[in-house]
Amino acid sequence: MTKLVRLRPVRLWLSPLLVAAVLMLVSPVWPQADGGTTATGAPSGNEEVRDTEWPTYGGDLRARRYSPLDQIDRSNVGRLEIAWRWRANNFGPWPEIRSSTTPLMVGGVLYTTAGATRSVVAIDAATGETLWMYRLYEGERGSQAPRPNSGRGVSYWSDGNDDERIFLVTPGFHLVAIAAASGVPVDEFGEEGVVDLMIGTRGGVPPIGTIGSSSPPLVVGDLVIVGPAMRLGMRPPALSNTKGDVRAFDARTGELRWVFHTIPEAGEYGYETWLDDSIETAGNVAVWAPMSADVENGLLYLPVEAATNDYYGGHRPGDNLFSSSLVCLDVATGKRVWHYQLIHHDIWDYDPPTAPILVDLPADGRRGTRQRQLVAQLTKQGWAYVFDRLTGEPVWPIEQRPVPTSDVPGEHTAPMQPFVSRPPPFERQGFAESDLIDFTPELRAAALEVAARYRLGPLFTPPSLADAADGTRGTLSLPGALGGANWEAGAVDPDTGYLYVGSSTSPSVLSLTTDPENSEHRYVAEGGGGAPRVLGWPLVRPPWGRITAIDLKTGDLMWQQPNGWAPAALEARAAQAGFELGRTGKPTRAGVLATKTLLFAGEGWGGAPIFRAHDKQTGEVLAEINLPASQTGLPMTYRLDGRQFVVMSVGGGDHPAEIVALALPESPGAPI
């Protein structure tokens, strides 16, 4: 085991507010983050307190990204101003630009991650003052980490009394329990507060550099559930790769409680879906996206990613369970309850990229039915897959239909793929000549010339060779491997059943080549990156990014709004050519947050530094608020001392990551 040098966290002085908050938390406070009861059946505690906080990554364990707060509404949202800023410049060995973190807020304190070595920071939620920081030094193991970034955040656990912990999974794959009040590791957890997650991993290669994490663990009751994030799978060097098992640990002691083999072992369900002993070498099939849980029913929902390698499945014939599947487990035991494979034998890198969103549809008097308990999985491929979350039964039919067959030597394309009949896709699917940019005859001609070098086709057209016999050099895929929707997920309004999702219309090139010097795989991706541009323009016509509202009661798309104006450089280019672009949306993925009163959305990584409030029913933009940089982490909200805050990480270009808090102006004469 790598010798770890642990630095003591820097303890900064405690503000009176923090002391007050800690004292407050000694009194009974809601210890879990979901409605109803805990996994062990204990009462859930004080709902009023919970509604003002943001105790888990997704707002609650159902990943709804919804808050019932209503102080900020359409009458005053235009007056939002920056209440405080917290800068992350000096966390990590370089100033991180893109921080995807979403802070938690519990008891008046924000808990968040910062910098490429993923420090944990506690911040006074009212003022932005730093209260403490913690960092685990991981040496070589950290510098080889597959996801050297601040990740998406941390998790909170409490015993319902005064034992409150923050859980972190580091880039180098350690699980750390930190005392929420002090930032000091909890001695009785693991070894001096740390569990080495590389111990017990499966696979034919050393775990260092191949396995890590990008999302917070999920705390359900007294379990801390960890899904890994693997080395990028486009061009893996070795045939054998580390497997992406999901594990649950005891929140008090760090003991392993259960393991779910996302790639089954002999005798386990799904083992037979890997032919020719491919199950021995297969890797990935991890859960890098956040998870969700239904505490009342004791169910855990896993968005399980694709297998290695991303675009060539010749070394893994078969459907490859549980790759690219939504899997429901019994949270107490880790046993499978049901699963649905969204894509058989995935060769598009269409990992389900978001926490499955759990929502109960409002009771509908006309039908006289009980509430329906649903799970919705948003995907890169532009569908929301909606199931009864207890049974796994699709709410609307999902039909197996024949799809194109690969001509890549050794590939064994799945003959059929599931097609969602409802809701309609929220993104364009498949790539046809009609998708090409066509603003001017010159642009159209140039786009056709580029497209002629590739294969086009409907959704599920397989990757092809960079030197194919027909002279093409790959397949244009839409949505691309980065979505559609991605980790930014969506938000759902439990009052209306409206599901909101930001998505991007950006194609990928799926092009396979040999690289025997660097990889044991017969074929690997020629490279990452999007589709080629055309004379400086995107290859596809707009809209390039959008926000969609889906009514989960009916499966209808209720509205779509462009994700902002056209990129500034393209506006300028259009102006030169004598036309205007207007609201084409940016090819970025909006981060959304729903409250009782409004839908909030930033433009996402690479977008403009503008935060918008939308009418939830129509999508109409009610206000635009300038940010110091683009929204990059997902926005969250809370109320403290009577004031509602909306907080998110921003960054981009020259602007290192920072956390920005928006609030209404304090009334004159209010105490400081």
Partner 1 sequence: MPLPDPAPSPGGIVGAVVVLAAAIALVALPGLEVRAAPQELDELRSVRDGVFSEEQAERGRRTFVKECEECHQLDQFTDPFFIRSWSGDTLDALFDQIRTAMPENSPGKLSPPLYADLVAYLLTLSGFPAGEGEITPDNGLEMIRIEDPAKSESH
Name residues contacting partner 1, limited to 136-175 (CB under 8 A): 146-149
Query: In whole angstroms, how far apart are CA 244 and each of 273, 281, 572, 660, 668?
Result: 17, 12, 46, 34, 54
522 binds partner 1 (CB under 8 A): no
Window contacting partner 1 (CB under 8 A); options: 34-42, 219-227, 376-384, 518-526 = 518-526
Binding residue (CB under 8 A) for partner 1 from 292, 584, 597, 649: 584
664 binds partner 1 (CB under 8 A): no
**317 CB-side CA count, 13 A:** 7
As measured in angstroms, the least distance from the Cβ of 543 to partner 1 is 5
* Of residues 333 and 626, the one with the C-beta less far from partner 1: 626
The Cα 169–Cα 177 span in angstroms is 9
Handedness of CA 495, 33, 483, 94 (dihedral sign): positive
As measured in angstroms, the least distance from the Cβ of 436 to partner 1 is 12
Binding residue (CB under 8 A) for partner 1 from 453, 495, 617, 670: 453
* Of residues 105 and 547, the one with the C-beta less far from partner 1: 547
Binding residue (CB under 8 A) for partner 1 from 34, 53, 60, 96: 96
As measured in angstroms, the least distance from the Cβ of 580 to partner 1 is 3
Q: Is the distance from CB of 456 to CB of 476 less than 8 angstroms?
A: yes
* Of residues 52 and 513, the one with the C-beta less far from partner 1: 513
Binding residue (CB under 8 A) for partner 1 from 101, 113, 381, 561: 561
Residues 623-662 close enough to bind partner 1 by CB under 8 A: 623-626, 651-654
568 binds partner 1 (CB under 8 A): yes
The Cα 480–Cα 463 span in angstroms is 12
As measured in angstroms, the least distance from the Cβ of 113 to partner 1 is 13
533 binds partner 1 (CB under 8 A): yes
The whole-angstrom distance between residue 119's C-alpha and the CA centroid of its chain comes to 20
579 binds partner 1 (CB under 8 A): yes
As measured in angstroms, the least distance from the Cβ of 654 to partner 1 is 7
The Cα 258–Cα 81 span in angstroms is 46
Could you tell me whether strands 104-106 and 155-158 are parallel, antiparallel, or unpaired per DSSP bridges?
unpaired
* Of residues 471 and 669, the one with the C-beta less far from partner 1: 471
Residues 231-290 close enough to bind partner 1 by CB under 8 A: 232, 234-235
Residues 291-330 close enough to bind partner 1 by CB under 8 A: none
Residue 19 dihedral angles phi and psi, to the nearest 5°: -60, -45
Residues 389-448 close enough to bind partner 1 by CB under 8 A: 424, 439
610 binds partner 1 (CB under 8 A): yes
- The size of the interface with partner 1 (CB under 8 A), counted in residues, is 75
How many other CB atoms are found less than 10 A from the CB of residue 441? 8
**451 CB-side CA count, 13 A:** 22
Distant-in-sequence, close-in-space partners of 562: CB < 8 Å, separation ≥ 6: 542, 543, 545, 546, 583, 584, 585
Residues 18-57 close enough to bind partner 1 by CB under 8 A: none
| CA-wise closest residue to 282 among 334, 248, 317 | 317
The site map against partner 1 for 467-496 (x = CB under 8 A) is: ------x-----------------------
The Cα 121–Cα 112 span in angstroms is 5
For Cα atoms 77, 599, 218, give the angle at the middle one, nearest 5 degrees. Answer: 120
Query: In whole angstroms, how far apart are CA 317 and each of 9, 69, 310, 323, 343?
Result: 48, 50, 14, 12, 14
The Cα 585–Cα 592 span in angstroms is 15
As measured in angstroms, the least distance from the Cβ of 455 to partner 1 is 15
Tokens of residue 530, six digits: 């999007």
| CA-wise closest residue to 210 among 146, 120, 292, 142 | 146
Amino acid letter, residue 42? A
535 binds partner 1 (CB under 8 A): yes
Binding residue (CB under 8 A) for partner 1 from 12, 71, 560, 666: 560
As measured in angstroms, the least distance from the Cβ of 495 to partner 1 is 22
Q: Any idea what DSSP says for residue 483?
A: B
Binding residue (CB under 8 A) for partner 1 from 65, 141, 261, 541: 541
As measured in angstroms, the least distance from the Cβ of 175 to partner 1 is 20
As measured in angstroms, the least distance from the Cβ of 132 to partner 1 is 25
The Cα 465–Cα 408 span in angstroms is 7
Q: Any idea what DSSP says for residue 422?
A: S
* Of residues 130 and 513, the one with the C-beta less far from partner 1: 513
528 binds partner 1 (CB under 8 A): yes
* Of residues 153 and 494, the one with the C-beta less far from partner 1: 153
564 binds partner 1 (CB under 8 A): yes
Binding residue (CB under 8 A) for partner 1 from 132, 487, 565, 645: 565
As measured in angstroms, the least distance from the Cβ of 547 to partner 1 is 9
* Of residues 69 and 534, the one with the C-beta less far from partner 1: 534
How large is the greatest C-alpha to C-alpha distance in the chain, in angstroms? 76
As measured in angstroms, the least distance from the Cβ of 540 to partner 1 is 10
| CA-wise closest residue to 355 among 486, 171, 168 | 486
Distant-in-sequence, close-in-space partners of 201: CB < 8 Å, separation ≥ 6: 207, 211, 228, 242, 243, 245
